[in-house]
Amino acid sequence: MAVTDHEHPIDPERVAHARSRIPSADDVARLTGLLSMMADPVRLRLIYALDVAEELCVGDLALALDVSEDSASYALRLLRSAGLVTTRKQGRVVYNQLAHNFPQPLKDTCLRQLVTLTHTTDNEPPA
């Protein structure tokens, strides 16, 4: 027979190596959660806006993003529950700002660099 020359683990060495380096399921879950939070046009632009303007209330935020107040409010709700945005209440106006522990590299590096990157790199093969 010798038919099954190579079953599934074709390259067990590399598999083991990869396995040892892959972050734990817990880390991945946390990271994907964070990425999912940013993988939404409204939320992402909202983060940009707060990064630039320091703090904004929901109404102004909706204006800046050209979305309904409800949409902005909903986005803020999620970002707040994820700990990425904090609020400062002054009178009846609630000012929203990026949490001080907002992942700096993500903000500084990724946000700005990625825009440039997506300009230069064409990852859209002709359909």
Which residues make up the interface to DNA (CB under 7 A)? 1-8, 10, 36, 40-42, 57-60, 68-71, 73-78, 80, 87, 89-94, 96
Please name the residue ranges forming H helices in the chain.
12-21, 25-38, 41-53, 58-65, 69-81, 104-105, 112-120
**Is 53:96 a contact under the CB 8 Å cutoff?**
no
Which CB sits closer to its own copies, 1 or 116? 116
Residue 35 found at the interface with its own copies (CB under 8 A): yes
Residue 21 found at the interface with its own copies (CB under 8 A): yes
Residues in the chain: 127
Please give the order of strands across the beta sheet that includes 85-90: 55-57, 93-98, 85-90
Nearest distance, CB of residue 47 and its own copies, angstroms: 10
Residue 23 found at the interface with its own copies (CB under 8 A): yes
Nearest distance, CB of residue 90 and its own copies, angstroms: 10
Nearest distance, CB of residue 104 and DNA, angstroms: 23
Which entry of its own copies, DNA, none binds 107, CB below 5 to 8 A by partner kind? Answer: none
Map the footprint of its own copies across residues 81-110, applying CB under 8 A: 81-84, 93, 99, 101, 103, 105-106, 109-110
Nearest distance, CB of residue 24 and its own copies, angstroms: 9
Q: How far is CA 30 from CA 35, 82, 105, in A?
A: 9, 10, 16
What are φ and ψ of residue 55, in 5° steps? -150, 145
